[in-house]
Amino acid sequence: MKAALLAGLLAGLLAGALEGCASQVLSIRTVPDQTPAADNAAAAANAAAFAEAVAAESAAVSAPEPQEAPPLVTPADAPPMYTYDPWERLNRFTYRFNARFDEAIFLPVADTYRRAPRPIRAGIHNFFDNLAEIDSVINYTLQWRLKFGWRSLTRLAINSTIGIGGLFDVATKLKLPGTPTGFATTLAKWGMHPGPYLVIPLLGPSTLRDGVGFLADYGAEYGINVAGMYRGSVSWGLGTANAIDQRANINFRYYAGGSPFEYETIRFLYVRRRLIEDEGLHSKEPVKKAPVDIPAGK
Interface with another protein includes 204 (CB under 8 A)?
yes
Task: Output 24 or 233, the one with its CB closest to another protein.
Answer: 24
The nearest distance, CB 161 to another protein, in angstroms, is 25
Span near another protein by CB under 8 A; candidates 74-82, 119-127, 162-170, 233-241: 74-82
Task: Output 164 or 267, the one with its CB closest to another protein.
Answer: 267
Interface with another protein includes 41 (CB under 8 A)?
yes
Number of neighbours of residue 114 by Cβ within 10 angstroms = 16
284, exposed or middle or buried, with CB in 10 Å at 0-12, 13-18, 19+?
exposed
Interface with another protein includes 289 (CB under 8 A)?
no
Interface with another protein includes 206 (CB under 8 A)?
yes
Interface with another protein includes 54 (CB under 8 A)?
yes
SS3 55: helix
The nearest distance, CB 208 to another protein, in angstroms, is 13
The distance from CA 84 to its chain's CA centroid, rounded to whole angstroms, is 21
Span near another protein by CB under 8 A; candidates 1-9, 47-55, 113-121, 233-241: 47-55
Interface with another protein includes 68 (CB under 8 A)?
no
Question: Which residues are CB-neighbours of 121 under 8 A, at least 6 positions away?
Answer: 113, 114, 245, 248
Question: Which H or E run includes 197?
Answer: strand 197-200
Which residues between 162 and 181 bind another protein (CB under 8 A)?
Answer: 179-181
Span near another protein by CB under 8 A; candidates 88-96, 157-165, 167-175, 226-234: 88-96
Which residues between 106 and 165 bind another protein (CB under 8 A)?
Answer: 148
Question: Which residues are CB-neighbours of 174 under 8 A, at least 6 positions away?
Answer: 158
CA distance readout (Å), 44 to 35, 39, 41, 50: 14, 9, 5, 10
Smallest CA-to-CA distance from 188 within 203, 208, 204, 218 is with: 208
246, exposed or middle or buried, with CB in 10 Å at 0-12, 13-18, 19+?
middle
Which residues between 247 and 276 bind another protein (CB under 8 A)?
Answer: 247, 250-252, 254-266, 269-270, 272-274, 276
